[in-house]
Amino acid sequence: MGTPQEGRLADKVALLTGGASGIGRACALRYAEEGADVVVADRDAKRGAEVVAEIRNASNRRALFIEVDVSSEDSIEAMAAAAVTEFGRIDTVLAAAGISSAQYVSGAAADGQTGARPLVTTKLSDWQRVLDVNLTGVMLTDRICARHMIELGVAGTIVNVASSAAKIALPGAADYCVSKAGVAMLTQVLALELLEHGIRVNGIGPGFIETPMTQSMRDDPDGLAAIVARTPMGRVGTPREMANAALYLACDESSYTTGHTIYPNGGMFVG
Ligand SMILES: NC(=O)c1ccc[n+]([C@@H]2O[C@H](COP(=O)([O-])OP(=O)(O)OC[C@H]3O[C@@H](n4cnc5c(N)ncnc54)[C@H](O)[C@@H]3O)[C@@H](O)[C@H]2O)c1
């Protein structure tokens, strides 16, 4: 056990998929600042280990990296079991692992992003891959971690990372939009199912955020102009801004909120 301390997540155990990069990484750091012990779970072991080292340097919290592929039920089961073995329980989950397309590789020099993918010519295997990671991966993460919470009597919280693309149709990204709309509905259904266990399930639906996922778009002047045109605040969001939204949903300050996805997106849905 680390030293007991103050904070919105004091002495809670947080497990974050996608914790090696971008929004998941920012949440891992933010949660540790608020007193949580942190399990960083990701397929990227190198960057995951870096985040763990950052947390250990910046706080007195325990941090652990677990390699996981969220498109595999076995892998997620092993991840959750290892987290419980190591830290005793899981109090809060962030399901952030995701891909923008079947070819996307987070953090790679050639990240695989090739622009629009019209649905009429999208390969079924590509469609399936995006759904497997972004939707089924979140569903499996949620339910496997929820089983541990129920077994251990933990009235925990789950925060799913959807996207503003759950609500706006982006031509050329049907797989992504549909996967994220699915995550928003999953959040609603699971919230009702887990009420009796005192587990709250909420989500965040970011707009355009400064992470590797938007790097190619931000590097392209036309892409950046499109982001600004869609965003009343006229700028991309920061990963820390997303972490603050997720933190609210993860901690007791949101105790009367469940089944809700909030959209920190610079006013995109306002007009
Ligand atoms: N960046 C944005 O503008 C934006 C907007 C809305 C929603 N999102 C969502 O936020 C989440 C995080 O994205 P990000 O922007 O931080 O991108 P990112 O590429 O920086 O991070 C994604 C992380 O997920 C991990 N990951 C991918 N597939 C995985 C798998 N099968 N198993 C385990 N880990 C896997 C990657 O290794 C990476 O660490 C995603 O779900 C994304 O769809 C991002």
Mutational test site, ligand 1, from 101, 141, 161, max ligand atoms within 8 Å of CB: 161
Identify whether the C-beta of residue 156 lies closer than 8 Å to the C-beta of residue 142: no
Cβ-in-10-Å burial (0-12, 13-18, 19+) of 105 comes to middle
CA of residue 192 relative to chain centroid, distance:
20
Identify whether the C-beta of residue 42 lies closer than 8 Å to the C-beta of residue 133: no
How far away, in angstroms, is 191 Cα from ligand 1 center? Answer: 23
Q: Are strands 92-95 and 37-42 parallel, antiparallel or unpaired?
A: unpaired
Nearest atom in ligand 1 to 162's CA: 7
Classify residue 136 by its DSSP letter. I
Round to whole Å and give the CA distance between 242 and 2: 26
Backbone angles phi, psi at 86, to 5 degrees: -75, -45
Catalytic residue among 176, 248, 256, 263: 176
**Sign of the CA dihedral 238, 23, 135, 101?**
positive
- The full set of domains in the chain, from first to last, is 13-105+119-262 (3.40.50.720)
**Sign of the CA dihedral 139, 145, 149, 154?**
negative
List the alpha helices (DSSP H) in the chain. 22-33, 45-58, 73-87, 124-131, 137-152, 174-194, 215-219, 221-230, 239-250
Q: Determine if ligand 1 sits within 6 Å of the CB of residue 251.
A: no
Backbone angles phi, psi at 17, to 5 degrees: -80, 150
Q: Determine if ligand 1 sits within 6 Å of the CB of residue 20.
A: yes
Nearest atom in ligand 1 to 242's CA: 10
Q: Determine if ligand 1 sits within 6 Å of the CB of residue 22.
A: yes
pLDDT at res. 1: 45
Q: Known catalytic residue: 104? A: no
Round to whole Å and give the CA distance between 175 and 30: 30
pLDDT at res. 111: 85
Neighbours of 139 (CB within 10 A): 19
| pLDDT, tens digit (0-9, with 9 covering 90-100), for 67-97 | 999 999 999 999 999 999 999 999 999 999 9
Structure tokens given for 130: 């995006």
Structure tokens given for 146: 């929820």
Segments in the chain below pLDDT 70: 1-5
How far away, in angstroms, is 96 Cα from ligand 1 center? Answer: 6
Residues in the chain: 271
Round to whole Å and give the CA distance between 12 and 70: 23
